[in-house]
Amino acid sequence: MGAATTTHVPTASHDTPDPNENYLTVTKGVWSWLATLDHKRIGVMYLVLVTAAFLLGGIFALLVRLELFTRGETIMGAETYNRMFTLHGVVMVFLFIIPSIPAALGNIILPIQLGAKDVAFPRLNLMSLYIYAFGACFAVYSMLTGAVDTGWTFYTPYSTTTHSAVIPMIMGAFIMGFSSILTGVNFLATVHKMRAPGLTWTRLPLFIWGLYATSIIQILATPVLAITLLLLTCERAFGIGIFDPKLGGDPVLFQHFFWFYSHPAVYIMIVPGMAVINEILSTFSHRAIYGYMFVAMSSIALAVLGFLVWGHHLFVSGMSEYAMMVFSALTFLVAIPSGVKVFSWVATLYKGSIRLASPMLYALAFIFQFTIGGLTGVFLGMLAIDVHLHDTYFVVAHFHYVMVGGTVFAFVGGLQYWWPKFTGKLYNELVAKIGFWFAFVGFNVTFGIQFVLGSRGMPRRYYDYLPQFEKFHQISTVGSWFIGTGFLIVGINLMYSLFKGKKSPRNPWNSAALEWQTPTPPPLANFTKVPVITRGPYDYHLATEAELAED
């Protein structure tokens, strides 16, 4: 590694630099994990926590769907139901999806893809993890003391007047925000300062470009959420009138503040997913991502445009017609970089050599589902149509197509793609594919039918519904059982591989990317010697046979 970069890596953490030991075996004991400064171990601990959050949020989702299986009370009352859908949203957004790809997969893979020993600030990295865990404790405390029934959006004045445990939950989201900001800062510094010799900006893996764009959003948008949540707490706890008209406030102001963060946050959630898809597509097509620079810049474009469209969440809130016109037009511009990505991904397959391994199935499903998620966004961007569809199941289906069909599929695909890298184990490919097909079919049944439910007029966040909606709800609920089964199979398959899985070769997917050119699992310092980069990560025509070989 160049002299400029080595000075940034504290060597104190890497106390036993034995090149034969990998990062999992180099030190032992619980404390060696809890106090580690190694980005891979921190990433693995993030992974454990976000997966636990995903499981919890998933159980809430299944309970919500089960309650909606029949009209009236099926398994719970209205007040419990309102808590369930709120907790599903809060847990999935703040505890799972925001940290999922950047903090878990990103932490493990980003420094290796840069040819670096670690992130720029390893101690800050560990601190981010603990801040996240601390914030999560507040969320759990809220759940145990009455939970919240406001929806994950915390709209005022309901959130300042309801009798549920709003403040602990808000504090949890507030604290976890700092974890997100610090991870963003860390990644930006790492990308700028820790790249291996020869790793120019045009040779950066697109996963890095995606996380780079995400980090910018995390740093710029999250403070706004923090301020908003603090103001909400001031109103609720001390009666300071900011949002409640009874106290002289403005409830629509809260919506502007909230979505000024939460719309960019949509890109905190989806851009890393897109980033993962690039890596998978390239590896399993043995081709460079088509139009590399356009794809890289489209991530940056999404990060920028993401800040300018928050108003489309307020199209029926009584905002001025002129503001609506501007927000609607800007919203349509988001389609451009999204389209560039989709076109480039499809073109990447052209003249490739395509292997349909399980991560590739997730990537292809991502393209299909993200296309639907994106195009249904066109309906919602059109003012006259949005006025009908706003706050209906159409919107629920739309964002689940992006967040689940997009990000969650990318997360699971990426997890399986890099699983051999950081565990050193191979999972059963057939079982992985069975899990995929359950999740894929289940997902499209569950949320596909919700588009129809919504366009026919079914409002969201409804405990009970009119008879004409019942059969649609039942189809959706049956679909949810397939999703649950699919991801359960995936989870069991991965867990089983830890104990009984075959040892992974260095490069099980015959990839040309840098992270597969170092031993699997990697040594503590990621590389046995500093890599010198002479080609891009996707240049299969320049990669040697030895590099593409499994061992």
How far apart are CB 456 and another protein at their closest, in Å? 5
123 or 456: whose CB is closer to another protein?
Answer: 456
Coil vs helix vs strand at 317: coil
CA atoms within 13 A on the CB side of 92: 22
- Per rule CB under 8 A, is residue 318 in the interface with another protein? yes
Q: Which helix (H) or strand (E) holds 426?
A: strand 425-426
- Per rule CB under 8 A, is residue 356 in the interface with another protein? yes
Give the residue, chosen from 33, 69, 141, 343, that forms a contact with another protein under the rule CB under 8 A.
343
Coil vs helix vs strand at 295: helix
- Per rule CB under 8 A, is residue 233 in the interface with another protein? no
How far apart are CB 461 and another protein at their closest, in Å? 4
- Per rule CB under 8 A, is residue 52 in the interface with another protein? no
φ, ψ at 459 (rounded to 5°) = -70, 155
134 to 153: interface string for another protein, x by CB under 8 A: ---------------xxx--
137 or 333: whose CB is closer to another protein?
Answer: 333
Asked if 12 and 95 count as a contact pair (C-beta separation under 8 A), the reply is: no
- Per rule CB under 8 A, is residue 291 in the interface with another protein? yes
How far apart are CB 451 and another protein at their closest, in Å? 8
- Per rule CB under 8 A, is residue 384 in the interface with another protein? yes
- Per rule CB under 8 A, is residue 293 in the interface with another protein? yes
In this structure, the dihedral spanned by the alpha carbons of residues 50, 53, 58 and 59, taken in order and rounded to 10 degrees, is 150
- Residue 273, class by beta-carbon neighbours within 10 Å (0-12 exposed, 13-18 middle, 19+ buried)? buried
- Residue 15, class by beta-carbon neighbours within 10 Å (0-12 exposed, 13-18 middle, 19+ buried)? exposed
CB atoms within 10 A of CB 485: 15
Coil vs helix vs strand at 182: helix
Coil vs helix vs strand at 311: helix
102 or 251: whose CB is closer to another protein?
Answer: 251
Q: Site for another protein (CB under 8 A): how many residues?
A: 91
183 or 344: whose CB is closer to another protein?
Answer: 344
How far apart are CB 217 and another protein at their closest, in Å? 21
61 to 100: interface string for another protein, x by CB under 8 A: -----------------xx--x------------------
- Per rule CB under 8 A, is residue 299 in the interface with another protein? no
- Per rule CB under 8 A, is residue 532 in the interface with another protein? no
44 or 389: whose CB is closer to another protein?
Answer: 389
Range in contact with another protein (rule: CB under 8 A) among 9-17, 117-125, 229-237, 453-461: 453-461
Alpha helices in 91-246 (DSSP H): 98-99, 107-113, 122-144, 158-161, 166-193, 206-238
Coil vs helix vs strand at 504: coil
Task: Give the whole-angstrom CA distance, residue 36 versus residue 31.
Answer: 8
- Per rule CB under 8 A, is residue 111 in the interface with another protein? no
If phi over 0 gives left and psi between -120 and 50 gives alpha, with beta otherwise, what is residue 343? alpha
Give the residue, chosen from 193, 256, 433, 461, that forms a contact with another protein under the rule CB under 8 A.
461
Q: Hey, which bits of 197-323 come out as E strands?
A: none
- Per rule CB under 8 A, is residue 204 in the interface with another protein? no
452 or 492: whose CB is closer to another protein?
Answer: 452
Closest by alpha carbon to 100, among 231, 256, 276?
Answer: 276
Range in contact with another protein (rule: CB under 8 A) among 103-111, 132-140, 447-455, 488-496: 447-455
SS3 annotation, 105-132: HHHHHHHHHCCCCCCCCHHHHHHHHHHH
Give the residue, chosen from 352, 448, 491, 519, that forms a contact with another protein under the rule CB under 8 A.
352
How far apart are CB 500 and another protein at their closest, in Å? 28
Range in contact with another protein (rule: CB under 8 A) among 15-23, 190-198, 238-246, 269-277: 238-246
How far apart are CB 539 and another protein at their closest, in Å? 7
Give me 123's structure tokens: 């101690």
- Per rule CB under 8 A, is residue 292 in the interface with another protein? yes
Give the residue, chosen from 76, 137, 300, 383, that forms a contact with another protein under the rule CB under 8 A.
383
Give the residue, chosen from 13, 464, 475, 548, that forms a contact with another protein under the rule CB under 8 A.
464
Residues 6+ apart with CB under 8 A from 270: 302, 370, 402, 403, 406, 407
How far apart are CB 111 and another protein at their closest, in Å? 27
- Per rule CB under 8 A, is residue 406 in the interface with another protein? no
Task: Give the whole-angstrom CA distance, residue 485 versus residue 292.
Answer: 37
- Per rule CB under 8 A, is residue 392 in the interface with another protein? yes
Task: Give the whole-angstrom CA distance, residue 529 versus residue 403.
Answer: 39
How far apart are CB 182 and another protein at their closest, in Å? 33
Give the residue, chosen from 59, 382, 431, 478, that forms a contact with another protein under the rule CB under 8 A.
382
